[in-house]
Amino acid sequence: MDFFNYKNNELYAEDLAVTDLADQYGSPLYIYSKATLVRHMNAFKEALAKKRHLICYAVKANSSLSILALMASLGAGFDVVSEGELRRVIKAGGDPKKVVFSGVGKTAHEIAFALEQGIDCFNIESVPEINAISSVAKSLGKKARVSVRVNPNVDAKTHPSISTGLKSNKFGIAYDEALAVYRQMAADPNLEICGIDCHIGSQMTSGAPILEATERLLDLYKELTECGIKIDHIDIGGGLGVTYGDETPPSPYEYMSAVINRLKDLDISIYVEPGRAMVANAGILVTKALYLKKGSVKNFCIVDAGMNDLIRPALYNSWMNIVEVKKHQDAKVDLYDVVGPVCESDDFLGKERKLAVSAGEYLAVRGAGAYGSSMSSNYNSRLLCAEILVDKNKSYVIRKRQDFSQLWENESIAGL
């Protein structure tokens, strides 16, 4: 449940009318609800309450400093995949000691920076990466805490582009190789083994795949124990899905309870890395209808937000709910493709949507808090839009709309 609701046929973000906010801050506009973010974090805490745990919010889902600061204030750790994300966490006041570092392409520079900051753990994704981490750690006179991201070959039963736990995916180390890899790491004086990790995919709408993955990790845990290799945590990654349309994903509690049950007798912590479930439904993207265009085979509602603002529909053909910000009684409904101003045929937010909309009115894309602003770009030299956080009847700018000079601030005219 979120805090975007209709009152008298007007969409509200908590206690504020979305139309007023868009008029005040400009369109397009990302709006986040603080109460929703807090509710989601608390739902994860409750789900994990029976077990020692660390909730590592996946920064890639939404890396806004304010959202990171809010998560940190609620006790979250973080899952990062780049030096930039780690720097954001630190800038927002997050504790590096609660950070796990995932990703298949960590550079020596990133590894050194993370070691200097004293992060909790590197989630290792390949054998060459072990050597890279070991040699950087040695050169700094430090021991790197490491966990293997095991690829358990479990089908997350989600969109192929966001499935990560199959043999054909680039992520993690194959399950069958993991034991040998742990033995290699155990013999390395620059490394300290601390965990087992997996992340099998995103937008999972059932708890079954994560339970299957946990079973595989537990088998590995037993093998490691037999070899005298101790770990202090099992990290089951992120991946819990949200409701964009008619999906009915489990709550964090339902998703996690069978997993917690399986791990309850072990003297280890459980780590989770939720991204989407934390922020998706805490955000909307407001956009203004610029033109209604009657085509010969379809109608287009041309809006001022494009794939540079929200790329999920164009990239994955994702269905995201588009709603009228003001609903008019008895207004004429038409079928539209809702398209942006970007010069790409795939620049759409939604296809074949029944909407009662006039030019100049606002629409809102729901569930846009995750992988929305964090995947936005300046394509077509379009400005990144503003982002605001609503807390009851107050609103705060958390990212100003870019200005044009920022488009070329790192460029120079040279070589003529």
Ligand X SMILES: Cc1ncc(COP(=O)(O)O)c(C=O)c1O
Tell me the catalytic residues.
343
239 known ligand binder = yes
Terminal Cα distance for the chain, rounded: 57
- Interface of this chain with ligand X, residues 136 to 195, rule: CB under 6 A: none
String of contacts with ligand LYS for each residue 294-323, x by CB under 6 A: ------------------x-----------
Per-residue tokens: 341: 């101003």
If the CB atoms of residues 253 and 319 are measured against ligand LYS, the closer one turns out to be: 319
Q: Return the closest-CA partner of residue 54 out of 210, 241, 207, 232.
A: 232
237 binds, among ligand LYS, ligand X, none (CB under 5 to 8 A by kind): ligand X
Residue ranges of alpha helices (H) inside 187-251 are 208-226
- Compute the distance between CA of residue 214 and CA of residue 221 in angstroms, rounded to an integer: 10
* Least distance in angstroms from the C-beta of 295 to ligand LYS: 28
Q: Shortest distance, CB of residue 162 to ligand LYS, whole angstroms?
A: 5
| Residue 289 is a binding residue for ligand LYS (CB under 6 A) | no
Sites for ligand LYS among residues 27-66 (CB under 6 A): 60
Minimum CB separation of residue 36 from ligand X in Å reads: 16
Partner that binds at residue 309, options ligand X, ligand LYS, none, CB closer than 5 to 8 Å by kind: none
Q: Is 315 exposed, middle or buried (0-12, 13-18, 19+ CB in 10 A)?
A: middle
Q: Rule CB under 6 A: is residue 281 a binding residue for ligand LYS?
A: no
- Kindly give, in sequence order, each residue whose CB lies less than 8 Å from that of residue 175, ignoring residues fewer than 6 positions away: 150, 151, 152, 153, 216, 220
Shortest separation between residue 248's beta carbon and ligand LYS, angstroms: 18
CB half-sphere exposure, 148, CA atoms < 13 A = 27
Query: Quick check: 275 binds ligand X (CB under 6 A)?
Result: yes
Q: Which residues lie below 8 Å from residue 227, measured CB to CB, with a gap of 6+? A: 179, 182, 183, 186
**Site size toward ligand X, by CB under 6 A:** 15
Pick one of 11, 172, 371, 385: the residue that binds ligand LYS (CB under 6 A): 371
Binding site partner of 29, from ligand LYS, ligand X, none, Cβ cut-off 5-8 A by kind: none
Question: Which residues 98-127 are close enough to bind ligand LYS by CB under 6 A?
Answer: none
Which residue, chain included where needed, has tokens 């394509």?
Answer: 379
Query: How far is Cα 62 from Cα 76, in angstroms, rounded to an integer?
Result: 14
273 is in the binding site of which of ligand LYS, ligand X, none (Cβ under 5 to 8 A by kind)?
Answer: ligand X
For 251, counting Cβ atoms within 10 Å of its Cβ (0-12 exposed, 13-18 middle, 19+ buried), the class is middle
Q: What are phi and psi of 207, to 5 degrees?
A: -85, -5
Is 32 labelled a binding residue? no
Task: Tell me whether residue 162 or residue 282 sits nearer to ligand LYS (CB atom).
Answer: 162
Beta strands in 59-190 (DSSP E): 77-80, 99-101, 121-124, 144-151, 173-174
In the range 61-100, which residues lie near ligand X by CB under 6 A?
61, 79
102 binds ligand X (CB under 6 A): yes
Q: Is 256 in the site for ligand LYS (CB under 6 A)?
A: no
Choose, by CB under 6 A, the member of 88, 98, 199, 233 that binds ligand X. Answer: 199
Q: Phi first, then psi: what are they for 69, rounded to 5°?
A: -65, -40
Pick 255 or 362: Cβ nearer ligand X:
255
Residues that bind ligand X (CB under 6 A): 58, 61, 79, 102, 199, 202, 237-240, 273-277
Annotation: binding site: 239, 273-276, 312, 316, 344, 371
